[in-house]
Structure 1
Amino acid sequence: MNADVQRFFDAVPEASKSYFKQMHALVMELYPEATSAISYGIPIYKAKSGWVGLGFWKDGVSIYTNGPGHLAEFKAKHPKIKGGKGSLNFKNSEPLPLADLKLIIVHAIEHPKDA
């Protein structure tokens, strides 16, 4: 992990740190060869020809992809989880659906053009 990414990790609030670490670990478990760097103000993990980004906010953590196609299956299964066009926001007060997050990460990394 480079120094910029480490500084980002160090800045994650205690309330969000556990979820952020779990999401980081999931990306690295699936793609141990992934490289990470800060882009657009967040850590972006690149592997093969795809990427995912992780971020935090006051009450939770977020995952970012390059488009809604990576999130369609997840959003159908979890319609109450809010997000943007290519992102999802997870509140610290709600369970983190790690098994289903794997689908997003794999889809974004393996099929980057299917956004």
Structure 2
Amino acid sequence: MDLADYLAALPEQRRLRLEVLITEIKRLYPDAQESLLYSMPTYQWQQGWVAVANQKGYVSLYTCSPEHLLQFQQKHPGIKCGKGCINFKDKDPLPLQDLQQVITSAMTAS
């Protein structure tokens, strides 16, 4: 399975949301290595990484540490976060400006 197959298998709303996240990651890190680690679109740059995935009730942005999410959680307490991920329910916004900080923090982690 490749990224196109992964996205094609998703319901339209989820596919569109993941495409927005993927586009933002690629815009910020055009040289990031793209792969499907653990069956999730994953982007690695230097020592850092982020991944995105469709889950049962939401789409997720995964990072390598909860420290990357602190500022985002303070600004968006209504969006559920796990230890190192943000879970966007279909009704949740995708605040791209604030997600840039999360992505940058995760990608530049050492």
Per the normalisation by structure 1, the TM-score is 0.88
Out of 83, 105, 108, which is 1:107 matched to?
105
Out of 55, 58, 73, which is 2:56 matched to?
58
Out of 49, 71, 74, which is 1:73 matched to?
71
Separation (CA, whole Å) in 2 of partners of 1:28 and 1:83? 22
Separation (CA, whole Å) in 1 of partners of 2:48 and 2:10? 24
Determine the structure 1 residue equivalent to 2:85: 87
Determine the structure 2 residue equivalent to 1:42: 40
- Superposition RMSD on alpha carbons, in Å? 1.3
Separation (CA, whole Å) in 1 of partners of 2:3 and 2:19? 12
Deviation at 1:12, TM superposition (A): 2.1
Q: Percent identity, please.
A: 38
Q: Name segments (4+ residues, structure 1) moved above 4 Å.
A: none
Residue identity opposite 1:46 in structure 2:
Q
**Gaps (5+ residues) in structure 2?**
none
Equivalent residues, number:
110
Separation (CA, whole Å) in 2 of partners of 1:100 and 1:43? 21
1:27-53 C-alpha deviation (Å, 9 max, x unpaired): 000001111111122111011221000
